[in-house]
Amino acid sequence: MLLDLVAKLGRTTLGLIRAAGSLTLFALSGLSHIFRPPFYGRVFLSTFLETGFFSLPVVALTALFSGGVIALQSYTGFAQYHVQSAIAGIVVLAVTRELGPVLAGLMVAGRVGAAMAAEIGTMRVTDQVDALTTLSTNPMKYLVAPRLLAGLIALPLLVLVADVLGVAGGFTVSVVKLGFSPHAYITATLNSVKVIDVTVGLVKAALFGFLIALMGCYYGYNSKGGAEGVGTATTSAVVAASILLLAFDYLLTDLFFSQ
């Protein structure tokens, strides 16, 4: 009985180590192909547009409403201590450091990470990935490297937009609903915003973009067993990307901002 338990624990541990090793090798291989020709500019451009441009509406709306919610919630708490003037600083800090990258990342993981896993997974189960190999094309170079690069570049740009719109959301709610002076709010925002906050937010976004693309490509590339396998890969890609994103968010926050 005890031996069975130990054996099961051992198998699970070995399985986890194997999965981590496989993912690491996949990531290193994908990264190495980013820098080695041939380069597939068209695949990169279409993925970049899909990740960056076509995700703009959903990321913009999320940032706008989140900025508004922070302003509203902060006001509820701060009014008790008569420190409402700190709201502008809180909004800009929360948006640039955390909410911009994390919410944009989660939205893109749901939208683009799932699409990547489904597309590559379908190609895998319908022999299209093997067909690439037979046509003198390395699938890692053609399918994975351009997506990793697109994620790495597109998400910081999206987060930059999310930062601006998140602050705009807070500004709108504070001015229209809470009666703040527009001039005072903007001055307080400009006084509170720091280059390091925005920079770290963008670094986080680049890492999140890479992780989302990596999970989408990895699970899609290793799909098995037809439509059901592709469905499982898609779900796994989104779940894994979301969890990794939140875990790395904590680690980076601890690295850059812990006292």
Partner 1 sequence: MTGTLPKIRIRDLHKSFGSKKVLDGINLDVMPGTSFVIIGGSGSGKSVLLRCILGLITPDTGSIEIDGEDMITASPRRQDALRGKIGMLFQNGALFDSLPVWENVTFGLLALKRLNRKEARGHAGSILAQVGLDPSVGELYPSELSGGMQKRVGLARAIAAQPDILFFDEPTTGLDPIMGAVIDGLIVDCVKKLGSTAIAITHDMASAQRIGDEAAMLYKGQLIWQGPASSLMDSGNAMVDQFTHGRREGPITMELRR
Residues that bind partner 1 (CB under 8 A): 38, 119, 122-123, 126-128, 130-131, 133-137
Q: How far is the CB of 133 from partner 1 (least distance, A)?
A: 6
Residues shown for the chain? 259
Is the CB of 137 or the CB of 253 nearer to partner 1?
137
* Token duo for residue 29: 């291989």
C-alpha 112/C-alpha 116 separation (Å) is 6
Q: Work out the end-to-end distance of the chain between its first and last CA atoms, rounded to an integer number of angstroms.
A: 48
- Determine the 3-state secondary structure of 53 from DSSP: helix
Q: How far is the CB of 202 from partner 1 (least distance, A)?
A: 31
Q: How far is the CB of 222 from partner 1 (least distance, A)?
A: 15
Is the CB of 6 or the CB of 49 nearer to partner 1?
49
Is the CB of 134 or the CB of 259 nearer to partner 1?
134
Of 37, 248, 52, nearest to 153 by C-alpha is 52
Geometric angle at alpha carbon 71, from 70 and 77, rounded to 5° = 85
Residue type, 220: G
Q: How far is the CB of 58 from partner 1 (least distance, A)?
A: 22
Is the CB of 182 or the CB of 226 nearer to partner 1?
226
Query: Max alpha carbon distance in the chain (Å)?
Result: 71
Q: Assess contact for 167 and 121: CB atoms under 8 A.
A: no
Q: How far is the CB of 51 from partner 1 (least distance, A)?
A: 16
Is the CB of 119 or the CB of 249 nearer to partner 1?
119
Count of Cβ atoms closer than 10 Å to residue 29 Cβ:
14
